[in-house]
A = this chain, B = another copy of it.
Amino acid sequence: MGYVEFAKTIKQLTQEAGQPAMVSMKDIALRCGVSVATVSKALNGHQDVGSATRTRICNMADEMGYLTNSAARALKTNRTYHIGVLFVDDRRSGLGHEYFSAVLNSLKEEAETQGYDITFINRNVGNKPTTYLQHCLYRNLDGVVIACVAFNDPQVLELVSSSLPVVTIDHVFNNRIAVVSDNVNGTGALVRHVFALGHRRIAFIHGERTAVTENRLVGFYRACGELGLEIPPEYVLEGVYHDPDRCGELVQTLLRLPDPPTCILLPDDFSAIGGLNAIQKMGLSVPEDVSVTGYDGIHLASVIHPCLTTYYQDTTVLGRTAAAKLIELIERPKTALLDRIIIPGRLQEGQSVRYLNL
């Protein structure tokens, strides 16, 4: 039986069985008259394989539809080309949040183009509860991206202090790579923007106290300081991210002050909607009576009415960078710089901030 006939037979067999009848290196070796070792080397680009043999093997591999068995490779090399992603979605602040799903999507794409797949980390192995770290070890993950979680969770800390390559998003740990959105300058940019439009009485409703929030507060106070603004303490309130109702209430609180602000910075675009509603409910309108800004720059911001002045966080670069840095750390641990990488965003002007005649 000649070469071509044999190939046909193989295909027919696989067709018939309905199963793709996984072809292994052994099969290729058999057909090429070489050893499995040679096949492995040829396919992996090692140098001690003759160029004629190499092309013969590679062609045969294509011909036969060879696919690496990832489990076997992982077993032998301890490399899975799988990176874990830890996103927690309590109260819809994880995947449900457009910011994070956009970051995730970009992260996914970068990882995939580099040959890595992503998988979610959770707290069980088989049907037994475990820790995040154990789950990662069980799956032999090459590395982990952590985002959108309670970073003081003991299980998260265990993961961060493990020997696994880790990249965190929007939170900085010592001696770990962190990719963070530029919350300091982002908030600062908003302050300076509304200041330039004449606003002096600027209030800030921020989210729950997290690393992100701390940075936004720093950005806020620093910018105000540089502009010579004295912000009364009652202008700075703790709200809740992604909670239009709560933020709406706080907006009303602010507007009922004896000396109300002319502009209110809200924790994010979504909760800004609550602000808009609350203001409208008081018979006032945006931006004529009160100005408002959001944060995030999600699609929503530009389609609501009035569309929001906000600070766009570059989710694409954030996700891509996180993936790229993690892979760098995995593949070249010696040279990877353990540092904090700040991703700048961009002020996005809408119609929610009025020009104030001074």
Contact = CB atoms under 8 A, between A and B. Distances in A.
A300 B299 CA distance: 12
The 4 closest A-B pairs by CB, nearest first: A71-B74, A119-B119, A71-B75, A244-B303
Contacts of A96: 98, 101-102, 105, 299
A19 to B, nearest CB: 5
A20 B163 contact: yes
Interface stretch (A46-54, A133-141, A166-174, A257-265): A133-141
Contacts of A208: none
Given A95-B101, A120-B108, A163-B20, A68 B125 contact: yes
A114 B304 CA distance: 41
Contacts of A104: 95
B71 A140 contact: yes
A277 B305 contact: yes
A105 B119 contact: no
Contacts of A270: 300, 303
Contacts of A112: 120, 122-124
A274 B299 contact: no
A127 B139 CA distance: 21
A139 B73 CA distance: 11
A115 to B, nearest CB: 5
Interface in A263-318: 270, 273-274, 276-277, 280, 299-300, 303-305
Contacts of A70: 71, 138-140
Contact of A19 (B101, B105, B163): B163
